[in-house]
Amino acid sequence: QVQLQESGPGLVKPSQTLSLTCTVSGGSISSGSYYWSWIRQPAGKGLEWIGRIYTSGSTNYNPSLKSRVTISVDTSKNQFSLKLSSVTAADTAVYYCARTQHSGSYYSDYWGQGTLVTVSS
């Protein structure tokens, strides 16, 4: 059973860079044809796709966030990471990492529990 766990600072100052890591257990991040995604959810609001990465390093980002987002993968640690630069209060949200498959289209079948990141001075 694949498990994902987000980690990183819960508080980030405005204009700084938000950095989160997702650790994958129960399987190798490199095995199978899986992608690895980040999704976020502001309190009381809906889900927003941030982007995904393939273990080859190929990435796709939400066009509305593309200029500020970097997703990377470290196969030796079975981890992938999110960096979001120049954050504002609007970036305050629960951030989820997820395993993503491409069958017909992209969808996420395993999710982390989520981690709350607050942007505040």
Partner 1 sequence: SYELTQPPSVSVSPGQTARITCSGDALPKQYAYWYQQKPGQAPVLVIYKDSERPSGIPERFSGSSSGTTVTLTISGVQAEDEADYYCQSADSSGTFVVFGGGTKLTVL
Residue 93 has, within 13 A of its CA and on its CB side, a CA count of 21
* Least Cβ distance, residue 21 to partner 1 (angstroms): 17
Q: Which residue in this structure is represented by tokens 């997703």? A: 71
Of residues 8 and 114, the one with the C-beta less far from partner 1:
114
Of residues 105 and 121, the one with the C-beta less far from partner 1:
105
Of residues 38 and 81, the one with the C-beta less far from partner 1:
38
**Contact set with partner 1 (CB under 8 A):** 37, 39, 46-49, 52, 60, 62-64, 96, 103-109, 111-114
